[in-house]
Chain A
Amino acid sequence: MPAKGMPTTLTQGSGTKGGIGESTLRPDGALKVTGEFAYSSDLWHEDMLWGQILRSTVAHAEIASIDASEALAVPGVYAVMTYDDLPTGVRNYGLEIRDTPVLAHGKVRHHGEPVAIVAADHPETARRAAARIRVDYRELPVVTDEASALAPDAALVHENRDDHHIARVPHPNIVHRQPVVRGDVASARERADVIVEGEYTFGMQDQAFLGPESGLAVPEEDGGVHLYVATQWLHSDLRQIAPVLGLPEDRVRMTLAGVGGAFGGREDLSMQIHACLLALRTGKPVKIVYNRFESFFGHVHRHPAKLHYEHGATADGRLTHVKARIVLDGGAYASSSPAVVGNAASLGVGPYAVDAVDVEAVALYTNNPPCGAMRGFGAVQACFAYEAQMDRLAARLGLDPVEFRQLNAMEQGTLMPTGQPVDSPAPVAELLRRVKARPMPPERQWESGEGADVRRLPGGLSNTTHGEGVVRGVGYAVGIKNVGFSEGFDDYSTARVRLEVAGGEPVAAVHTAMAEVGQGGVTVHAQIARTELGVARVTVHPADTRVGSAGSTSASRQTYVTGGAVRNACELVREKVLELGRRKLGPSHPAWAGAGLLLEGGKVVTDGGEVLADLVDVLGDEAVEAEEEWRHRPTEPFDPRTGQGDGHVQYSFAAHRAVVEVDTELGLVKVVELACAQDVGKALNPLSVTGQIQGGTAQGLGMAVMEEIVVDPRTAKVRNPSFTDYLVPTILDTPAIPVDVLELADDHAPYGLRGVGEAPTLSSTPAVLAAIRDATGLELSRTPVRPEHLTTGTG
């Protein structure tokens, strides 16, 4: 492959410092290390009130009555609102299906559902007042799993559904169903020398972003409202908020406040509408900040899943077929369940070439907590299961698990089970080769001159072992994730770029509505502008709704799509600048008439490097500006019966090798190293790319050994809504994460780049599980693994 898969050749901007490909530092970094960066929970306004939400204490109940009179009588309380106080007939919201009540209407469908809201002059006053609202619940039976959801006498979580999926689902408690059927599974099955079947369970994971849901709504003189909020997609919020308030969209202004992480958990609305309602009701600015307890109820989680897989292979190690059924628990409201189903179904076989496939994915409506987007989005659950299957198959065939994967690895040109060809590099075998080729971390690293360093052992500072009963294991996994919104979604971004002279030098200003949630999009936008406009100084305007939509900061799409929009706008500006130059200075030099003029180092130069003019002279007092929407190539919906269709924009691949040490007596796991190799097409900012891969890897580690929201199966109530009981990996739990970055260009994408953020979250979990299986010899078909699974051989 001489030309194919090589990084995109750059002409424009190749001589510009701080452009793409460099590890430039974050423009918001200095504010973040000094504590001055204004997160959504830091906002303050003269005379502001504090909002508080009263949430249901039961999962499924009719609301017989709500009595707010005592709350209203509390000194310092300005307003209490319930469903009956909503200003318009639009009283529901939702990303795709508007099935989520702003405030409960006669019924609650999950534990922690918002029932009433309060505004008061001190947050504690608001909390105490909310506690005085009397809600009379008449409890109903709970739907908690597939059996109770589809039972003949099952209660319907939503009566009278009229969404566009209802006609095609087998039961009203199924949100959406997507089959993917390809080839002749029955005859392929006959060719199989080995068949393995497995039943897998994936727990409910929380995004656990650190910055709590929060924001400030400020009423404006024209009767509108200005909302400062932490979100992943300003314009999606706007489309859901404005109708509930009864305001046209241009009277709901939105500005992105500092976002303390997201990982999918801010795709759905949280406090946005509540803060606006209270601000409009009281005429005062209203701030709402969830505490951690409330945050666990205030956003959707990753879908827990039950997955049934059957894989077949010939004796020489070729996959014959894959059958799978993936049941995702969507909880009480739809959120992004339909799209998660589409991902689970279309990516459910993994990065392997298989001709015969029969996959079905469904998402249920239950009374469990609503589930929706989290990093990896439907591909994560499947990867855990199909990678476990691949190891079991390899073991049955007596093959090395990495070689078996490599033998079946897809490559460029392979057809997905959806029939879509993978038309850019798919270095699955190479990624596996790279993680396997890494030197192993030394054995018994806990041994020091002065006895065992317990910090390097399972159990850590609990001092539970000095090496006795500790066994090492190694495991591998690889995954495939789509990049960008799929299934025909019009997934565009808008960028406005302006070039003008300020302080005697050309300065570019980039304005988009992209939500910077920590990923570093603002860094990359500035780099793109430097590369495309050949200037040193770039300012990145705060994100707001005064510019068109930038789409969601999710699906690993922002560098691709909003980055593409910024590049596109810069190219338009460059053309305009050159046109201006030709008008002003054209006669002065014949090269102005030629093609191939570049902007480099603040100057207009020929492709031979001859300087034609200084940008300062070309621009003079004029500002050159361009704003345009930019789209990646279109996708199409999956066929509802067969799942066939070019549904995805781009695929992204990562592989992991996990090395673990397990205290087999106590069931404690220490992950010693978690190496990753990933193809990123082109690393626009290598430092940020590595950071994304390491962060995604650590979230996968958490899913493997500790993170799970535990829901009581009898009551559907959440049992561990705190960081005391929901465990997130600490720096002691997280090992060295060496990263190997490949840059094989995707010719369809800007600069050849490939979305980075999600793929490492997929293969991390199954690699750790495989390593624990290797250490213990246990089957381990659920994640996360808990100590009792290891000591009793269950799980």
Chain B
Amino acid sequence: MRIDFTVNGRPREADDVWEGESLLYVLRERLGLPGSKNACEQGECGSCTVRLDGVPVCSCLVAAGQVQGREVVTVEGLADLAGQRSRGAVARPGEDTGLSPLQQAFLDAGAVQCGFCTPGLLVAADEMLERHPDPSDADIREALSGNLCRCTGYEKIMDAVRLAAARRAERG
């Protein structure tokens, strides 16, 4: 089958898609967007998290056909998304490197080791910060509880999200 949908603000189409293919497979293998990761392919680890019409979902559990006509944002689109949010505002961290402020905070806080969980965590945390600009630690933990990380023990991920929120508060 053929699927038309929007990925990171651009119209995309995928041809010859099998009925059983997941959105994750289409992104990774048909559209050349391997940023969404394939750690468990059963909806338990969150590594494949993308936003589907704004809502974070495990793309491994979304049948490709379900995204027809809908909007998907992946880790590859986070910098553009941040750019749209801050259009006209003062300079933000990460801007000169092409990163979103949250991506920059993950780097600065040491939240990336092997990095396999990072794309999913970034998409989930970015969405949480949209809803909760000033999250408590418990809010962060709740929002990210669907994303497994095996390297960091999560402490630096907490630091990164706190840092991104604090930097945003500073900029006003």
Contact = CB atoms under 8 A, between A and B. Distances in A.
A731 B39 contact: no
A291 interface: yes
Contacts of A122: 18
A343 B168 CA distance: 49
Given A518-B115, A728-B150, A730-B145, A34 B38 contact: no
Contacts, number: 186
A461 B142 CA distance: 8
The listed residue with most A CB atoms (<10 A of its CB), out of B29, B32, B42, B152, is B152
Contact of B141 (A36, A212, A731): A731
Contact of B138 (A209, A289, A456): A456
Interface string B105-121: 01110101111111100
A30 B115 CA distance: 10
Contact of A210 (B98, B117, B142): B117
A115 to B, nearest CB: 23
B155 A210 contact: no
Contacts of B44: 292, 722-724
B41 interface: yes
Contacts of A207: 150
Interface in B101-156: 103-104, 106-108, 110, 112-119, 122, 138, 140-142, 144-156
B51 interface: no
Contacts of B157: 731
Interface in A206-260: 207-212, 258-260
A372 B117 CA distance: 25
Contacts of B36: 35
Secondary structure of the A contact surface, majority rule: loop
B33 A723 contact: no
Nearest to B21: A124
Contacts of A672: none
Given A41-B38, A731-B144, A124 B20 contact: yes
B4 interface: no
B28 interface: yes
A520 B104 CA distance: 17
A623 interface: no
Nearest to B40: A292
B37 interface: yes
A699 B113 CA distance: 15
B99 interface: yes
A291 B38 CA distance: 8
Interface string A267-305: 000000000000000000000010110000000000000
Nearest to A208: B150
B74 interface: yes
Contacts of A258: 115
B75 interface: yes
Contacts of A259: 114
Contacts of A28: 115
B100 to A, nearest CB: 8
Given A38-B34, A260-B39, A690-B156, 20 more contacts: A29-B106, A32-B115, A35-B34, A209-B116, A210-B47, A212-B39, A261-B151, A461-B142, A517-B114, A518-B113, A691-B151, A691-B153, A694-B154, A694-B156, A695-B113, A698-B154, A722-B42, A730-B145, A730-B147, A734-B153
Interface of B: 18, 20, 28-29, 32-42, 44-45, 47, 74-76, 78-79, 97-99, 103-104, 106-108, 110, 112-119, 122, 138, 140-142, 144-158
5 contacts: A32-B115, A35-B33, A260-B114, A518-B114, A518-B116
